[in-house]
Amino acid sequence: MCDDEINSCYVKSHIKLCKKRKIRKKIIIISLVTSFFLFLICQYFVNVVNPIIFAYGEAEINRLLVSSSNSAILNISTVSYDDLITINYDINNDISSIVANSSSINILANSLAIETQREIDLNAKMGISIPFGTCTGIGFLSGKGSDINLSVSPIGNVTSQFFTSFSSVGINQTSHKIFITIKSEASLILPFGTKNVTKSIDYLLCECLIVGDVPNTYLNVSSLGELCK
């Protein structure tokens, strides 16, 4: 093989090697640039989009929990004061004791918790929706675009607790009110995290105007449990 042929082969192999190096260099640059933009997109989602969705989703879940608790309260039978409380009088017609009916209280509390959880489960199946424009964090796009459906996971931890209050409303007249607190939870599930939302709502169940002096031992009672036998 002559020198010219050898030089020609060398030049061709060198050119091929240079092309391969250029291609590898381009691939590396493209990969780095792509990785950098993916990193920026992830950071944008974590720092901008996620907080917006969490804030919007939390408000929607709060609405869902309130609606579920309201429906549960409306669905139960009407509760009267006499169903929960018995006032006993002595021979002088003075109040001798105020007693809570623990059986009725426990049944009502359990029924409200079950009914609230059932309502939450039904509402959570529909999830919540947020406009795409709102997710971007860009002001003029807020509320615009197609809706994005987000999953809501109900947490089976609904609790109900009674509390009571006495207040003077006149001479020898005391208003006795019975409230119930319904506490419920749900989670908003996102690709970049989960947001747990807890909501406690107080409802007035019933009240009674008691005529006569109420002993101080009862005026300071804040829980129905303290009135139970």
pLDDT digits (tens, 9 = 90+) for 90-145: 887 777 778 888 888 888 888 888 888 888 888 888 777 777 777 766 666 676 77
- Residues 21-38 pLDDT 10s: 677 777 777 878 888 888
How many domains does one find in the chain? 1
**pTM of the entire predicted model:** 0.70
Q: What is each CA distance from 8 to 5, 19, 44, 145, in whole angstroms?
A: 5, 17, 53, 62
Cα 43 from Cα 47, distance rounded (Å): 6
Domain ranges, residue 103 = 3-226
Asked whether the predicted pLDDT for residue 15 surpasses 70, the reply is no
Query: 120 with 156: CB under 8 angstroms?
Result: no
Query: 85 with 102: CB under 8 angstroms?
Result: no
pLDDT at 16 (0 to 100): 60
User: Is the sign of the CA dihedral 133, 134, 135, 137 positive or negative?
Assistant: positive
- Residues 182-224 pLDDT 10s: 998 888 877 667 778 888 999 988 888 888 777 776 666 676 6
Cα 75 from Cα 56, distance rounded (Å): 29
